Structure 1
Amino acid sequence: MMRGVAFLSLPSLVLAGCATTTINVPEAAIDAPAAYAADLPPAGADALWWQAFSDPVLDELIARGLAANLDIIVARDRLRAAEALLEAERADRLPSVDGAAEAGVELDDGGARSTASAGLFGSFDPDFSGRLRAEIRAAAARYAEADYLRADQRRLVAAAIASQYVEYRRTGAQLALLEESTNLQRQTLRIVTLRFEAGLSANLDVRRAAADLAQTQARLGLIEIARGQAENALAVLLGETPGRLVIAPPGGRSTIPDYGQGPPIGGPANLLRRRGDVLAAEARLAAAAARVGIEQADLRPSLVVPGSILIGDGTVGGVFSQFLASLGAALDLPLFDGGRRRAEVDAARAELDASLAEYRQTFLEALGEAENALTAIDAYRQRAEALAEAIEQSETALGQSNALYREGLASLFDVLDAQRQLISSRQSLLDNEADLANAFIALHMAAASDNGGTSIPSSS
């Protein structure tokens, strides 16, 4: 099948230089396929993807996690710090003014005399070299990165909560299945015991049936461990103390939540505009390009305009007798540094190349995650059909082997083997249902289906 290819390039924030600093950034074309290799599942309403589970308990847990998860809070605080640093860089474009005052006592032949002085000292950098503008662009890119990482943390937390909730529901379904399996094996043990007491079978058959029952009962501890781990993981994701989380039980029999039709995931190109980690890598590339501009600015002359106003040499409480004002210009001309500035530019360009490779790698990993999830969904659906057939055949085989065993036409080994196959097939189908649910979670996490996206802040 022929598939088109879309070439998407970085925004102007990365590719455009400023009026005084030329940045030769290679165009970061991303080879984004026009469609995924695997087939997409049918899409439903354009809503939050986890709502396709139709599970109010899960909806509540994710809402609580997005409001209280500590990793999200950390990302939000780092965004505030990045915003403050961006404002600090922008403030460097404005004049700065400081004040100073002093008072003292002078001793001479005429006695003591109190003196005082006060002044204002300021400077202004007209950014003749373009360094300040490049620093603002770098700070704006760091702010954008922090914003995207905050959004990406929400993506990761929502998916982690959903996945742990599926595991919690899996353990509940496993407990229910364990109860069914032990009841089935107790029934077999009762039949074998009656036959032994009637002299129709050996004591060895009783011991085999009892061993199978004990082996199944031994799984209880492992399921309880997994259940406790899922509960504690959910507590941490919700920013709560492990061991104290209370999850409202789902209505009816404990089963794996079934995924319906989620929102459309779009094509691979959507990953470039919705995945927070991909957008953060793009912002890091923009910051690396700005750092090239910063280092290039050091190759050009820089100009600073200092000024001061000073009054003083008067008595305290009297009238100042001196007034002095000055305004100048300081021009810094880079002449010779042994090649240090050029080397720093080369280092910044190398970092830019590395950031470009990291950006492409991040996109490829995101695309791989989506493709893997789509492949898994298709495989788990096909496997579910085969396992359902295996369960049906195993139930029939167990019924026949039980009937033949009662008539003495089959051995207990045949009964136990059919029983084990049925229990194993039921467990495999349960696990497959959980794996399918997790594959849908992985798909929408990879596609960032619920990410609203944020534009890169202006660097002007």
Structure 2
Amino acid sequence: MRAAIAIAASALLAACAAPRDRTPVVDRAALPPAYLTDNRLPADAQADALWWKGFGDPRLDAIVERALSGNLTIAAARDRLRGARAAVLAERSDRLPSIDGDVGVDGIGGITDRLSVRPAGGTGVLFNPDLNGRLSREIEAAAARAKASAYLLVDARRLVAAATVQQYVDLRRSEAQLTLLEESTDLQQQTLRIVELRFGAGLSANLDVRRAAADLAQTEAQRGILLLQRSQAARALSVLSGEVPQPLPPAAAEPSIPTFAGGPPAGVPADLLRRRPDLLVAEANLAEAAANVGVEQADLLPALALSGRLSIGDTFGLGLIDRVLGTVGAILDVPLFDGGRRRAEIAVARAEADARFADYRQTLLDALREVENALVGIDSFSGRSASLRDAIEQSESAFNQSNALYREGLTSLFDVLDAQRQLIGSRQSLIDSDAQIAFAIIDLYAAVGATTES
């Protein structure tokens, strides 16, 4: 009879499953058709190319590959993904019958009677047909969490690749500045020797010697800072690769900022919806929140649980199975009154879904801002570098002319030192500007979610 009631209840309640709460989506047509900055980066590589290879630096390629394979943040994200996928299997198992077995003995006897021991055992079965849809929504929520974990792994690779290339550019900038420091000190030492010769000949004052020596000392004072920056960048690269800080690697053969020759196209704003991993994480989080609304809504509906048990025993203690009993039951849990708790929990879940939709939209806006800023940065620093190269050319000419006039006594040392400072300053600014171009390119490809896998 109880089994019949369960079957009838299943038929009557099959249509009562909790509704699937709809996940809000961003209208792709609402996004701008193109970025505001009309930047034309070289795009010689394929769209799925590893973007940092556009720098054409085998040393960089090897460092990024080592970081992507050894980084501990990526390893942790990979482990969390494994756990999230196991959680999905655990949730799915709730849709299957649960079977447990037990084995024991019964003892019986009086004060004068000999104790009689009887073996007994049985098997219990519990099954939830998920009439209200709660289990299905819980599986959806777990699947969304697993999807978010998968995208978090991709996002970790995106961020580690960008951070690695940034630290490498910082390393190359320090190397280039150290090389420039050597060139600048050589130039200032030549000037100091000229001033000392003129002072020895009575053609210049001791003040000129002190000025030239002060400029040389000020330039040499930058060495320690540059060595520190180079050491910090090198050790950061080691940590990004999951290694203890390593000794400084050999300097690059060419002490300059790597030049970007080409990479995957930046695409259009709508591409962010499918390429940017942190945006996909936010989308998966939104899907989980929507599923959790369904979980809470299911509590408003009746729940049915089916149970059964098969018992085996020995009535006479003869070691023989002579008793087999079977029972089947069903429990129908119908919500009647809870003081409004269930509906309040639904309101909490819906509020969280709305909050995650706002997070999703904010992530999208931040991504658009990052891309635009990177494109503007590339244009701005490219123009600055072009102007600085012209300034260096003019400063070299001015320094050579003022130096020649000073030797002839036709100008003061102040003019020579001023031209020299302008030349050194322009060269230093050019290194920084070229590094900023590289940083903006790194920011661009990180912002558009360019691939980190071949």
What do the CA deviations read for 1:147-203 (whole angstroms, capped 9, x no partner)? 000011111111111110001111110110000000000000000000000000111
- Report the 3-state secondary structure (helix = DSSP H, G, I; strand = E; otherwise coil) of the residue aligned with 1:308: strand
Q: Does 1:328 align with 2:329?
A: yes
Q: Does 1:164 align with 2:163?
A: no
Amino acid in structure 2 at the alignment position of 1:299 = L
1:337 aligns with: 338
1:224 corresponds, among 223, 227, 250, to 227
User: Would the alpha carbon gap of residues 92 and 245 (structure 1) be closer, same or farther in structure 2, given more than 3 Å must change?
Assistant: farther
User: Would the alpha carbon gap of residues 315 and 411 (structure 1) be closer, same or farther in structure 2, given more than 3 Å must change?
Assistant: farther
User: Would the alpha carbon gap of residues 73 and 25 (structure 1) be closer, same or farther in structure 2, given more than 3 Å must change?
Assistant: closer
Q: How far apart are the structure 2 equivalents of 1:167 and 1:270?
A: 30
Equivalences, count: 434
User: Please, which runs of 5 or more residues in structure 1 have no aligned partner?
Assistant: 1-17, 454-460
2:5 aligns with: none
2:208 corresponds, among 205, 208, 231, to 205
Where in structure 2 are the equivalents of 1:42-121 lying within 5 Å? 42-46=42-46, 47-108=49-110, 109-121=112-124
User: Please, which runs of 5 or more residues in structure 2 have no aligned partner?
Assistant: 1-15
1:301 aligns with: 302
Amino acid in structure 1 at the alignment position of 2:222 = R
Contact 1:72–1:154 under 8 Å retained in 2: yes
Contact 1:106–1:112 under 8 Å retained in 2: yes
Amino acid in structure 2 at the alignment position of 1:235 = S
1:445 aligns with: 446
For residue 20 of structure 1, report the CA deviation from its aligned partner.
4.0
Contact 1:57–1:248 under 8 Å retained in 2: no
For residue 261 of structure 1, report the CA deviation from its aligned partner.
1.2
Contact 1:36–1:371 under 8 Å retained in 2: yes
Q: How far apart are the structure 1 equivalents of 2:114 and 2:150?
A: 66
What do the CA deviations read for 1:334-388 (whole angstroms, capped 9, x no partner)? 0000000000000000000000000000111111111100000000111011101
What do the CA deviations read for 1:250-300 (whole angstroms, capped 9, x no partner)? 33x311111111111211111110111000000000000000000000000
1:127 aligns with: 130
2:19 aligns with: 21
Contact 1:78–1:146 under 8 Å retained in 2: yes
Q: How far apart are the structure 2 equivalents of 1:317 and 1:170?
A: 90
TM-score under structure 2 length normalisation: 0.93
Of the structure 1 ranges 42-51 and 418-427, higher mean CA displacement relative to structure 2 is found in: 42-51
Q: How far apart are the structure 2 equivalents of 1:274 and 1:90?
A: 29
Q: How far apart are the structure 2 equivalents of 1:265 and 1:314?
A: 80
Q: How far apart are the structure 2 equivalents of 1:250 and 1:326?
A: 79
1:400 aligns with: 401
What do the CA deviations read for 1:401-457 (whole angstroms, capped 9, x no partner)? 11221222211111111111110000000111111111111111111221569xxxx
Q: How far apart are the structure 1 equivalents of 2:269 and 2:55?
A: 24
Q: How far apart are the structure 1 equivalents of 2:327 and 2:250?
A: 74
1:265 aligns with: 266
Where in structure 2 are the equivalents of 1:236-255 lying within 5 Å? 236-242=239-245, 244-245=246-247, 247=249, 249-251=251-253, 253-255=254-256
Amino acid in structure 1 at the alignment position of 2:319 = G
Contact 2:289–2:352 under 8 Å retained in 1: yes
Identity %: 55
1:276 aligns with: 277
